């Protein structure tokens, strides 16, 4: 990626994370990035386009962290790896993490182009849910519903750990992850293991 474009993204993330998105200005971004204000307009026509592209940039960063080795192992191993990756990523105090929480609620996030881009970026996750449904192991529910009952808790836990609201306890997280996995299953886990020959 172009170095100045990366600098602009990093500066924007830092400002949003520390000051919020409402007061964000191109001049602030230029100062933080150490570039001329006019330079930003060589890459983005306006602030709206910059925010839109930053969303995509952060989505790529999130996906690259949580979908590591997402195709390795059986369904349970894949799910639990992703679940813990989300917790680990969520508990880090990074500008991308903090800014993402602020701008996911802005207009445009629900637009068809953005939704399509998000689905492509998190294709590994969609493939996991699809494989679970096709095999009959997962409930026949929409991907976003499956995500809500199984992986959203890991996002909330990562955030709560980062904010110091709860302590990081690996044993508790293991139990919680197992509960989230079981929420996906159409039959008791003992039956699942029999079906898979474990």
Task: Return the domain boundaries, the chain.
Answer: 69-196
- Domain 69-196 classified CATH 1.10.357.10? yes
Please give the mean pLDDT across all residues of the chain. 86
Residue 190 reports pLDDT greater than 60: no
Residues 81-108: what's their mean pLDDT? Answer: 75
Q: What is the pLDDT of residues 39-75, one digit of tens each?
A: 999 999 998 889 888 888 888 888 998 999 999 999 9
Residue 28 reports pLDDT greater than 50: yes
Rounded Cα distance between 94 and 104, Å, is: 16
Q: For residue 157, what pLDDT band results from cuts at 50, 70 and 90?
A: very high
Q: For residue 197, what pLDDT band results from cuts at 50, 70 and 90?
A: low
Residue 76 reports pLDDT greater than 70: yes
Residues 32-36: what's their mean pLDDT? Answer: 92
Of 192 and 54, the structure prediction assigns the larger pLDDT to 54
Burial category of 197 from C-beta neighbours within 10 Å (exposed 0-12, middle 13-18, buried 19 and up): exposed
Rounded Cα distance between 162 and 156, Å, is: 10
The helix-helix angle for 95-103 and 47-66 (nearest 10°) equals 120
pLDDT given for residue 128 in this prediction: 97
């Amino acid at each position: 990626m172009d170095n100045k474009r990366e600098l602009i993204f990093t500066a924007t993330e830092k400002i949003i994370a520390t000051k919020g998105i409402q007061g964000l200005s191109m001049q602030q971004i230029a100062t933080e990035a150490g570039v001329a204000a006019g330079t930003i307009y060589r890459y983005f026509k306006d602030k709206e386009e910059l925010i839109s592209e930053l969303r995509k940039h952060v989505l790529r960063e999130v996906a690259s962290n949580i979908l590591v080795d997402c195709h390795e192992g059986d369904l349970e191993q894949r799910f639990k790896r992703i679940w813990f990756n989300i917790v680990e990523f969520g508990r880090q105090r990074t500008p991308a993490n903090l800014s993402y929480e602020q701008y996911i609620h802005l207009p445009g996030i629900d637009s068809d182009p953005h939704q399509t881009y998000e689905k492509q970026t998190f294709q590994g996750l969609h493939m996991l849910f699809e494989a679970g449904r096709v095999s009959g192991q997962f409930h026949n529910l929409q991907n976003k519903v499956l995500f809500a009952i199984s992986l959203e808790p890991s996002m909330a836990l990562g955030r709560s750990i980062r904010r110091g609201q709860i302590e990081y306890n690996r044993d508790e997280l293991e139990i919680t992850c197992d509960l989230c996995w079981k929420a996906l299953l159409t039959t008791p886990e003992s039956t699942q293991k029999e079906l898979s020959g474990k």
